[in-house]
Amino acid sequence: MEVSRHWRLKKERYAMVGEVCPHCEQKIFPPRDICPDCGQEARTLFRFSGRGEVYSYTTVYSAPTGHEVNAPYTVALVRLEEGPMVTAQLTDLGEKQVEIGMPVEMVTRRLRAEGESGILVYGYKFRPQLSAS
Amino acid sequence: MSEMKPSPNAVYIVGIGLTQVAEHWERSLRELALEAIQAARAESPTLQPEALYVANMLSVSLSAQAQLGALLADFAGLRGIEACTVEAAGASGGAALRQAYLALRSGACQAALVVGAEKVSDKVSAEIEAALATASDADFESVQGITAAALAALLMRRYLNETQAPPDALAGFSLNAHANAAANPYAMFRRPIKKEAYARAAMLSEPVSILDAAPVADGAAALLLARGDALPEGSVLPPIRIAASTIAVTAPAIHDRPDPLFLTAAAEAAHRAYQQAGLSAEEVDLFELHDVFTIYAALALEAAGFAARGEGWRLAQDGAIGREGKIPICTFGGSKGRGDTAGATGVYQAAEVVMQLQGRAGENQVRDARIGMAQCLGGSGATAATHILIRDDGL
Ligand SMILES: [Zn+2]
């Protein structure tokens, strides 16, 4: 039932495609068509590098419906190189201790299983930057 | 004191009703709401409300019940009146009060009811987490498995990092809330806690522990409002004037806000309220703020101008937020001690301010309280509804 909703967002979630404002150069993610900075139309697509650093992070133990099997998991606010921030799970951490400022990069992973029919929702997560380790 | 006449088109609160916040296994949403409505109406029994504004966030997702306006009006014996639900997540209570205020202020009706009601105890934890997470951006926050506690934790960790405050910097908010809840018969928790307990508390989402978080529970609260030209005669309790009523919003997702540690909606709503009421933060005698997580208490104090950026936590260190302090907050326990009733919170807050201003707060009384402010937030601060209530002398 939610297939179309997730299909609609696949460009953003798989490839980190956002927008750049033609008026003020602001990079925008997630895409929103009206620049939050200058209030003018912004529909020029822009592909983000997927690199950024951890602004803050925490662990979810008591997960909402659809995410229980993954708990506990780490979620973070990631400040992208190009400026915007995203909320995402961190993955492939191994023994690595997460800290504020840690360089991370985007990967595509399964986010959750939805409903009885088990639609799998894929999207971005972030892992420690390989070059930085 | 000189005799004052009520201003005809000013809006007054002339009745309040509260139910205890608890896990009411044996009672339904409509029964809780009815108890609150009847208690509020009993304080001005001659007044006939023409409208009912229901504050609720979770009924659709947890109780499969929409149209609470009709449901609760019908159950309260008020068939025929105007009624609807107002939803703004955790700010629903303040948002519903604002709608009632506007209706009265415009003269569209003379008297109106506001009821905030939530029922969560019928569901298990994962469903409640998911329902609470609907306050977030579903496509870009919730899809990542975010919870209300996790969002608070992201803000709290960054706040402690940027301010270089000690790990227990926010403990005072929890201690103050529980100390004040101890004497509140409507609170879920009636026992004060010690600082050592805060240090030992189990983690929900580091650095947010169970003593930084208000547990969700069932409850209902109601307010009865009347215009100045429709005030009932011979009331024992002084009517409380709504001197300011505001709502401001920002992006639901924390990641969409340029400065996540400054609650712009809360600041905007508070400062507009000061302007409307024609006063400054220093004149406010008490502040019922949003403390569903302790970090929001610090951020709300900063947003409303009671502390500089990054300094809100210091107010919890030196008794400034206590009943005798410079700016008493959560004087009946806030959400932390009272229990978090989601969309109903703003109605509890307003009722508590009324009790303070009418001098019937018992052990929780703030001395000579005349001006009180209430602010509730939706989600991580996307919506802020602020009200300033004043007891006019001689009314
Ligand atoms: Zn722009």
**pTM confidence score:** 0.96
What are the tens digits of pLDDT across the range B298-313?
A: 999 999 999 999 999 9
**pLDDT, chain B, mean:** 96
What CATH number labels A3-132? 2.40.50.840
Q: Tell me whether residues B145 and A100 touch, CB distance under 8 A.
A: no
pLDDT digits (tens, 9 = 90+) for A53-111: 999 999 999 999 889 989 999 999 999 999 999 999 999 999 889 999 999 999 988 88
Residues with Cβ within 8 Å of residue B292, at least 6 apart in sequence:
B90, B148, B152, B213, B214, B335, B336, B340, B345, B377
Contacts of B44 (CB under 8 A, 6+ apart): B14, B15, B224, B226, B232, B235
Segment 77-96 of chain A within 8 Å of chain B by CB: 77, 84-89
CA of B29 relative to ligand 1 center, distance in Å: 46
Q: How would residue B234 be classed by pLDDT, with cut points 50, 70 and 90?
A: confident
Kindly report, residue by residue over B107-126, the tens digit of the pLDDT: 999 999 999 999 998 788 88
Residue B98 scores a pLDDT above 70: yes
Listed by start position, the domains of chain A span 3-132
Residue B2 has pLDDT above 50, yes or no: no
Please compute the mean of the pLDDT values over residues B65-78 and round it to a whole number.
98
Q: What is the pLDDT of residue A22?
A: 95
Number of residues that make up chain A: 133
Band the pLDDT of B3: cuts 50, 70, 90.
low
pLDDT over 80 (residue B269):
yes
With a cut of 90, say whether residue B102 has pLDDT above it: yes
The dihedral formed by the CA atoms of A62, A111, B341 and B388, expressed in degrees to the nearest 10: 130
Question: What is the pLDDT averaged over residues B52-60?
Answer: 97
Q: What is the pLDDT of residue A39?
A: 95
Flag whether pLDDT at A115 surpasses 70: no
* Shortest CA distance from A57: residue in chain B: B154
The torsion angle over the Cα atoms of residues B227, B229, B235 and B236, rounded to 10 degrees, is: 80
Tokens of residue B245, six digits: 């009523």
Note whether B157 contacts A: Cβ–Cβ < 8 A: yes
Asked whether the predicted pLDDT for residue A133 surpasses 60, the reply is no
pLDDT > 90 in chain A, percent = 64
Do B145 and A64 lie within an 8 Å CB cutoff? yes
Q: Which two tokens stand for residue B47?
A: 């007044």
- List Cβ neighbours of B146 (8 Å cut-off, separation of 6 or more): A60, A75, A87, B133, B136
Spacing, Cα A35 to ligand 1 middle (Å): 5
- Most B-contacting residue of A54, A70, A82, A87 (CB-CB within 10 A), to test interface: A87
A131 near B CB under 8 A = no
CA A35 to chain centre: 19
**CATH fold of B135-186+242-391, please?**
Peroxisomal Thiolase; Chain A, domain 1 (3.40.47)
Alpha-carbon distance of B17 to A53, in angstroms, equals 49
The yes-or-no verdict on residue B245 having pLDDT over 70 is: yes
Q: Evaluate the CA torsion angle B117, B121, B123, B125 in order and state its sign.
A: positive
Query: Which of B58, B61, B140 to probe the A interface (max A CBs under 10 A)?
Result: B140
Domain boundaries of chain B, sorted by first residue? 135-186+242-391
